[in-house]
Amino acid sequence: MAFVLNTYPITYRSKFSAGKWSEEYFEKPHKTPEEEAAMSAGELAKLQNSRNCYDDMPLVNYSSQYGLSCFEGLKALPQKNGGLAIFRPRQNAARFARSMEGLYMPPFPEETFLQAVKETVKRNAALGFKVDYDSNWEKDSYMTASSVYIRPFTVAEGGIGVNLSSEPYVFVINTPVSAYFSGGNSDAVVTDKIRATPNGTGWIKACSNYVISAIAKSQAIKAGYMECVYLDAIHQKYIEEGSSCNIFFYLKSGELVTPELGDTILPGITRESIIELARDKGVNVSERQISIDEALEEAKECFVTGTAAGATPLTSLTYLGRKVEFNDGKVGEFTSDIRDTIKGIQYGKLPDTKGWLVQVL
């Protein structure tokens, strides 16, 4: 399934005007989840379309015309004890505000963000739209687990000329999501595309950044790979990110390396969490430049991280026709351990000693 446009009935909308944010919740047309599951594809598509349309929204605006928008991605994760919890939403709230400020929009208040994401999940769950825990997920370390995806995003007010947004909308929608990467292929290739340049918007979760991501990943998939990896814009030498995720290399020396943050790299919340967990395990973690040559010569394991990706292993990396396999093409011991740790915390199998989970149900 991965991402599908199967929007749940309850949507949140806020609008900035006259110096303050208004708030409202919409309950869009729906039947019970069981009734919807029994509908024909055509009937369901028509129902879904009604949930994704807002007739009073401006079609021509600075987002639709120029990509002036930003978004966040969170998950409400089914818990082993039967509950539902969101992983580190305060970090998303802070990053959303920074992204809006970076685009010169009025920032969305962090406490309002937290309330909106919790309330949409709670209201949708009350209508029966949620994901239940499945013990079978434990067999493959939650790599095929599902969750409720939470997508907060901005839409600019109406406008046709190139301009900034001073009165944006903020939406929060929910939809089911499963594993981002399909099984059976965990090969990656270095792309010649450039994701971000210095003094640009690479550090912002801006919608426009994902145009190159979509193109580069599509090219990689067509060439037989699961993922693509970017190099820096200036030297075309240092590794920066995956298509839409941060990247880690576990070196033969025992050092765990991830590219240091700057204005070309998105500060990932899963990235931050894995750095902390690895250090708790006594691993030497470095946030520094790592060249493609060092990665190919010295890395024994590699994985990418993100809300959608979780901690997904890459078993090979190809650069200019040269393919290097990590750990003989198998998931490495460290990668497996760190993946099991973060997934175990997120789904409630392991204790949340850091207070990262915010309970919704």
Q: Verify that 159 and 45 share a domain, yes or no.
A: yes
- Tell me the residue range of the domain where 282 lies: 187-330
Residue type at position 138: E
Is 340 part of a structural domain of the chain? Answer: no
Is 359 part of a structural domain of the chain? Answer: no
Q: Verify that 112 and 216 share a domain, yes or no.
A: no
Tell me how far CA of residue 69 lies from CA of 64, 103, 200, 207, in angstroms. 9, 8, 14, 6
pLDDT given at position 5: 76
Ranges of residues in the chain whose predicted pLDDT is under 50: 1
Q: Are 315 and 279 in contact (CB under 8 A)?
A: no
pLDDT given at position 11: 98
pLDDT given at position 180: 65
Q: Are 168 and 106 in contact (CB under 8 A)?
A: yes
Give per-residue pLDDT as tens, 247-272.
999 999 999 999 999 999 999 999 99
pTM of the model: 0.95
Q: Verify that 28 and 114 share a domain, yes or no.
A: yes
CATH code of 307's domain: 3.20.10.10
CATH code of 118's domain: 3.30.470.10
Is 358 part of a structural domain of the chain? Answer: no
pLDDT given at position 1: 45
pLDDT given at position 141: 87
Give per-residue pLDDT as tens, 79-95.
999 999 999 999 999 99
Structure tokens at 160: 């046709």
Q: Are 178 and 309 in contact (CB under 8 A)?
A: no
Q: Verify that 28 and 142 share a domain, yes or no.
A: yes
With a CB cutoff of 8 Å and minimum separation 6, the contacts of 53 are none
Is 82 part of a structural domain of the chain? Answer: yes
